Amino acid sequence: MMHVSWNNLIAKDARALTASEIRDLLKVAERPEVISFAGGVPDPKLFPLGELSEVYADLMADDVAGRGALQYSISEGMPALRQWIAADLAKEGAERTIDNILITNGAQQGLDMLARLLLEQGTKLVVEKPSYLGAMQAFSTRHPDYIGVTMDDEGVVLADLEAAFEAGARIAYLAPDFQNPTGLSYSLARRQAVLELAQRYGAVIIEDAAYCKLSYEGEALPSLLALDEAGRQDEDAGTVVQLGTFSKTLVPALRVGWVTAPRPLIEKLVLLKQASDLHVATINQAVALRAVEKTFPGHIDTVRDTYRTKRDAMLRALEDFMPDSVSFTRPKGGMFVWLTLPDGIDSRALLERALEEEKVAFVPGQAFFCDKSGENTCRLSFSAGDPARIREGIERLANLIRRVHNQ
């Protein structure tokens, strides 16, 4: 009998899939005695359990709607849900039809399917430095050539973006609102300038709008999708492909997200969705629609108020406890604060000591850089903990950093 040789059978482009060491290290962070800023998952206390319970009960009490929600459905996604999303986009200034929207398993599947359609070995792909790790995991299954562009306080640096387009890149993945991992947002002027550049080069921007509803101060800025002149004149001719999700505003476990794009791309995405897994769970689409109709926008206000308090607690603690040599972002929304440590402090080594000596966890920033720079950076999430524990955790981390710095 000859045994199967898995190493030989795995396709060449799939051999690079390897587990992250950080993930193993962070398993320790799940212990109750650890104050973890590592996660970045929503606070489960915010889930509208009672309302969702009613939605499920109402749906299942209706024989026709209930059985319909349990049957196979079309790959595009439920028309009424796409209609709700289109109406919500319109409120934000982006007029699109339901034919411009595909429902996906969270925004993550949108990233993965866009990677499968638009990337191949060697495709030049612009990403922010740092960028969302999950996006790069999806993109990397296709082995693009990353071109990292630096971020300043107003967003991606224009000269870097233009240089990337000059070098032949035609796809840029950008997160202009409360970015994961930095919490940074683009200014209005930068948004307009980025779009103008993309339009000049005929480039596509993949706009990650996962966190865009989680704004805690000031007026929300229009999305790249809403600002895109080409898309406003003709919904099938735009520059921007936008990813959305209910994971941060309602619940993540339904896995309901969406892609908004010009129809030529949506048509390809629908075919890929069908080949991939047929469609998003029918009942989850039906429940998400009923739940947002029932609870939005009031529920989003509650979510914002809660996370604002947590953010304020983290920022105040950072100001009170961190040495001056540590700088940090002051996000106006989202779930993350980004720390830059003095040069020479390696945040991976710091994490090991933080877990050991202070029972505090965070994510070392290097994993978010396509060029593996950022050794002295850390991502801290304030979404899960309560304010007192956030303050306690930041104090512990600051104490450790002082000790490391003085060594």
Q: Which of 79, 134, 222, 387 binds its own copies (CB under 8 A)?
A: 134
151-180 positions binding its own copies, by CB under 8 A = 170-171
Report the site for its own copies in 259-288 (rule: CB under 8 A).
262, 264-265, 267-268, 271-272, 274-284
306: left (phi over 0), alpha (psi -120 to 50) or beta: alpha
Least Å from the CB of residue 94 to its own copies: 16
Name the nearest CA neighbour of 231 among 220, 242, 221: 242
Query: Which of 70-78, 184-192, 322-330, 365-373 is the region at the interface with its own copies (rule: CB under 8 A)?
Result: 70-78
129 contacts its own copies (rule: CB under 8 A): no
CA separation for the pair 266, 75 (Å, rounded): 11
Choice between 265 and 370, CB closer to its own copies: 265
Q: Which CB sits closer to its own copies, 118 or 156?
A: 118
Shortest Å, Cβ 141 to its own copies: 6
Shorter beta-carbon distance to its own copies: residue 150 or 274: 274
Interaction between residue 27 and its own copies (CB under 8 A):
no
Q: Which of 28, 230, 300, 400 is the binder for its own copies (CB under 8 A)?
A: 230
Question: Does 406 interact with its own copies (rule: CB under 8 A)?
Answer: no
Q: How far apart are CA 187 and CA 322, in angstroms?
A: 27
- Give the shortest CB-392-to-its own copies separation in angstroms: 23
Please identify, using beta-carbon distances, which residue of 74 and 158 lies nearer to its own copies.
74
Closest to 156 (Cα-Cα) out of 227, 205, 84, 218: 205
> Segment near its own copies (CB under 8 A), from 43-51, 90-98, 298-306, 387-395?
43-51
User: Rounded to 5 degrees, what are φ and ψ at 360?
Assistant: -130, 145
49 binds its own copies (CB under 8 A): yes
Look at the block and give the residue holding tokens 């029972």.
359
Considering only the stretches 69-77, 301-309, 313-321, 369-377, report the one whose residues sit in contact with its own copies under the rule CB under 8 A.
Answer: 69-77
CB of 212 to its own copies, least distance (A): 19
Cα 223 to Cα 89, 92, 209, 213, 227, distances in angstroms: 10, 8, 8, 11, 6
- How many C-beta atoms lie closer than 10 Å to residue 11's C-beta? 6
Kindly tell me which residue out of 238, 333, 334, 365 binds its own copies, with binding defined by CB under 8 A. Answer: 238
Binding mask 283-312 for its own copies (x = CB under 8 A): xx----------------------------
**Span 326-365, contacts to its own copies by CB under 8 A:** none
Min CB(404)–its own copies separation in Å: 32
125 in contact with its own copies (CB under 8 A): no
Nearest approach in angstroms of CB 219 to its own copies is 27
Of the residues 96, 98, 106, 381, which one makes contact with its own copies according to CB under 8 A: 106
As measured in angstroms, the least distance from the Cβ of 285 to its own copies is 9
